[in-house]
Amino acid sequence: MEEIKNVIEIKNVSKDYGDFKLDSISFNVPEGSVCGFIGQNGAGKTTTIKAVLDAINIDEGEIFVFGQNIKGNSAKLREDIGVVFDEMGFHEFMTGKDINIMMKNIYKNWDDNVFFDYLKKFSLPSKKPCGDFSRGMRMKLQIAVALSHKAKLLIMDEPTSGLDPIVRNEMVQIFREYVIEEDHSILLSSHITSDLEKISDEIVFINGGKIVLAGNKDEMLEKHGLLKCKKSELDSISQSLIVYAEEESYGVSALVNDRRACEKLYPGMVIEPASLEDIMFFYVNRK
């Protein structure tokens, strides 16, 4: 059996800001996969991404990208990483042409033709200052930049937040096309779990600076279930199966961490499939 290669390996990484701590987190992103990084705002997604890119100093732990420790190698490794943030970061007076001139003098593998093809594909004018672009256009511009230097790994921090569903779907389609190449991988952070359900292979769920869940998305969705019952019935269910229960107008809704076992043990109960949003909601409220 072929060994699974990881494009990102995070081992016991900690970063203490005083009011927030990334607490000894560990997870991997396998090569060729789309890893959805979910968590509410302020959970530590951006801090983790910055740590992976060596844009912040970490207090403890190790991070490997493409099998190499980022310490001392980050500048070289970033040649193969495309990054998209929730905010554009380019100067508002810059046009697509200006960005092309700048980037081709930065990335060794920058391809002008690919960049202008993407601008055309995304209907982005190359002579218009990007300050005049809408939020969706700005995101597309960032994606065009990220995809124009033959990056093998895309790291995106909330790229779909604040966008309308049409543009979000377009973006998901772009990401799908990108991962057709088998050595292309994506780490995609978002709190919009519906986008991640469409595209992710793996899910890493972070909450309060700690990794709550990490693993295959389908297995995660298969494993969890949403149990609907009366409050009196809830007491009869093994507490080890329940992640968290919430009272609703008609009774109780509880997230169970082993749907199949629950169905076997309590055949009369209604257990619906849980979405990523449900999983996130119940795990966050568990505290």
Partner 1 sequence: MKGLIIKDLMCLRKQRITFLYIVAVVLIVSVMFVLSAKFGNIAVSNRYMIAENDLSEIDVKNLSSLALVLFMMLPIAMVGDIGTLFTADGKAGFANVSAVLPISIEKRVLAKFVAFISFLGIGVGADIVISLILSLLTDMLSFVDFVEIIITGASVLFIYCSLFCLYMFIFGYGKESVAGGVSLLTIMLALMVANFEKLKVIYISCFIDSAQVIDVNPINVIMNVIKDKCISALIVAVVVGVLSYVLSVFLAKRKRGIV
Of 51, 50, 81, which is closest to residue 63 (Cα–Cα)? Answer: 51
User: Rule CB under 8 A: is residue 16 a binding residue for partner 1?
Assistant: no
Q: Which is nearer to partner 1, 64 or 107 (CB)?
A: 107
Q: Which is nearer to partner 1, 87 or 248 (CB)?
A: 87
Q: Which is nearer to partner 1, 118 or 282 (CB)?
A: 118
- φ/ψ region of 145 (left if φ > 0, alpha if ψ in -120 to 50, else beta) reads alpha
Q: Which is nearer to partner 1, 135 or 198 (CB)?
A: 135
Least Cβ distance, residue 239 to partner 1 (angstroms)? 44
Bridge-partner residues for 242, per DSSP? Answer: 256
Least Cβ distance, residue 121 to partner 1 (angstroms)? 22
Distance CA 259, CA 1 (A): 30
DSSP-based three-state secondary structure for 273: strand
Q: Which is nearer to partner 1, 140 or 224 (CB)?
A: 140
- Per the document, the length of the chain is 287
DSSP E strand stretches across 197-257:
202-207, 210-216, 225-229, 242-248, 251-256
Distance CA 38, CA 47 (A): 13
Least Cβ distance, residue 17 to partner 1 (angstroms)? 12
User: By the 8 A CB rule, do 179 and 34 touch?
Assistant: yes
Binding mask 101-140 for partner 1 (x = CB under 8 A): xxxxxxxx--------------------------------
Distance CA 276, CA 9 (A): 23
Termini Cα distance of the chain: 40
Q: Which is nearer to partner 1, 91 or 286 (CB)?
A: 91
Site for partner 1 in 155-214 (CB under 8 A): none
Q: Which is nearer to partner 1, 142 or 200 (CB)?
A: 142
Candidate ranges 49-57, 170-178, 192-200, 248-256; the one touching partner 1 (CB under 8 A): 49-57
Least Cβ distance, residue 277 to partner 1 (angstroms)? 28
User: By the 8 A CB rule, do 80 and 108 touch?
Assistant: no
Site for partner 1 in 213-232 (CB under 8 A): none
Residue 9 identity: E
Cβ neighbours of 104 (radius 10 Å): 16
Give kind and range of the element (H or E) at residue 19: none
Binding mask 67-96 for partner 1 (x = CB under 8 A): --------xxxxx-x-x-x-xxxxxxxx--
Least Cβ distance, residue 82 to partner 1 (angstroms)? 9
Q: Which residues bind partner 1 (CB under 8 A)?
A: 50, 53, 55-57, 75-79, 81, 83, 85, 87-94, 98, 101-108
